[in-house]
């Protein structure tokens, strides 16, 4: 349980600032723009030091004067999608084999699609931030109603995970694979992480919108725009989430106050704290009356991203 005595807490806006740390007026002109074939819109922004480290193949043309990375279409328009995917994969394969970037863990990962591209393009999950493309995740908050108010199922991440080991997290969360919808992701992760029945989740998971943010991580050398698809699910008292894979060590049913205290102690995975802030706003727990930064918090959770989120040419 989380104690009631809390000192030197950060506010909810500080939790957002820690994740969404690229201001709207940030000068993206000093970064390199990733350009896809037959599309003048930048689909990613890359730090110069990262551009210099990536083992670019001849499928990419680097223009240091205009600060662009142009992906060529080796298919000459016959199959731009296939050619683009192959070009990314060839470059990522070399980076993994050479162990250039620790964030790749010298391993391959599932495929993520490039959001907003005019045709289907995907690349490996671990490598996506290197190219500055927007990534998709899905988070679901499971709650129950009690005489004392809402209670939230809170998991603790396994101590053996690469990223944020032992941190608290959203009830269910995962990256959205290239071929999956956000709901597909939630149904699969709910089974794998929390042993929740797929049929129940597919029927009762309620999509409530998105959370968006842009993170600059100088240690990893990336600018990372992110889209989180948000779901709520009310569970019956008899349905108890239980760890199913090795990513979660335990689940606890906490009151809203316990969750808020843990958030402000920064015990949650940073982007999961944003998901919970959104949940608390939508359920009338964080309001204009009790939160000085209410409007700033509410608007910052759904910021405009610097990359396209829809195709320019709809089919």
pLDDT category of residue 5 using cuts at 50, 70 and 90 = very low
Q: Which residue, chain included where needed, has tokens 């995907």? A: 122
Q: Is the model's pLDDT at 314 over the cut of 90?
A: no
Q: Using the predicted structure, report yes or no on whether residue 30 has a pLDDT greater than 60.
A: yes
All structural domains of the chain:
12-22+135-300 (3.90.79.10), 31-131 (no CATH)
**Sequence-ordered list of residues with C-beta below 8 angstroms from that of 225, at least 6 positions apart, any chain:** 132, 133, 134, 135, 212, 213, 214, 305, 306, 307
The two three-digit tokens of residue 121, written as one number: 């393009």
pLDDT at 129 over 50: yes
Q: Is the pLDDT of residue 2 over 70?
A: no
Dist CA 292 CA 93 (whole Å): 49
Q: What percent of the chain has pLDDT over 70?
A: 97
Q: What's the CA gap between 103 and 175, in Å, rounded? A: 16
Mean pLDDT across the stretch 126-132? 97
Confidence of residue 9 (pLDDT cuts 50, 70, 90): low
Q: Which of 144, 127, 111, 154 is nearest to 234 (CA)?
A: 144
Q: What is the pTM of this model?
A: 0.94
**Contact assessment for residue 31 and residue 45, using Cβ atoms and an 8 Å cutoff:** yes
Average pLDDT over residues 96-105: 96
Strands (E), the chain: 32-35, 42-46, 60-63, 68-71, 111-113, 122-124, 135-146, 149-157, 172-175, 206-217, 222-234, 248-255
Report pLDDT for 245: 87
Which residues share a beta bridge with 164?
A: none
- Strand spans (E) along 12-134: 32-35, 42-46, 60-63, 68-71, 111-113, 122-124
């Amino acid at each position: 349980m989380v104690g009631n005595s809390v000192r030197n807490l950060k506010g909810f806006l500080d939790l957002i600032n820690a994740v969404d740390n690229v201001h709207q007026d940030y000068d993206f002109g000093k970064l390199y723009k990733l350009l896809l074939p037959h599309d003048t819109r930048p689909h990613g922004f890359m730090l110069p030091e990262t551009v210099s480290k990536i083992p670019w193949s001849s499928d990419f043309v680097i223009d240091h004067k205009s600060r662009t990375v142009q992906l060529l279409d080796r298919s000459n328009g016959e199959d731009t999608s296939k050619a683009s995917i192959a070009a990314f994969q060839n470059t990522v394969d070399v980076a993994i084999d050479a162990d250039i970037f620790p964030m790749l863990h010298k391993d391959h990962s599932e495929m993520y699609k490039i959001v907003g591209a005019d045709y289907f393009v995907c690349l490996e999950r671990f490598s996506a931030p290197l190219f500055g493309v927007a990534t998709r995740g899905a988070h679901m908050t499971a709650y129950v109603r009690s005489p004392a108010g809402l209670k939230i199922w809170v998991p603790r991440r396994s101590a053996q995970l690469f990223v944020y080991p032992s941190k608290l997290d959203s009830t269910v969360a995962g990256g959205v694979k290239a071929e999956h919808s956000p709901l597909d992701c939630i149904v699969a992760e709910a089974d794998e992480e929390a042993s929740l029945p797929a049929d129940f989740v597919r029927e009762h998971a309620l999509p409530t919108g998105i959370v968006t943010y842009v993170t600059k991580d100088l240690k990893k050398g990336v600018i990372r725009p992110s889209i989180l698809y948000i779901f709520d699910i009310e569970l019956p008292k008899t349905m108890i989430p239980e760890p199913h894979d090795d990513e979660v060590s335990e689940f606890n049913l906490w009151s809203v106050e316990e969750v808020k205290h843990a958030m402000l102690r920064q015990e949650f995975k940073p982007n999961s704290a944003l998901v919970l802030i959104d949940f608390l706003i939508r359920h009338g727990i964080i309001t204009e009356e009790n939160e000085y930064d209410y409007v700033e918090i509410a608007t910052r959770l759904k910021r405009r991203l610097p990359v396209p989120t829809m195709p320019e040419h709809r089919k």
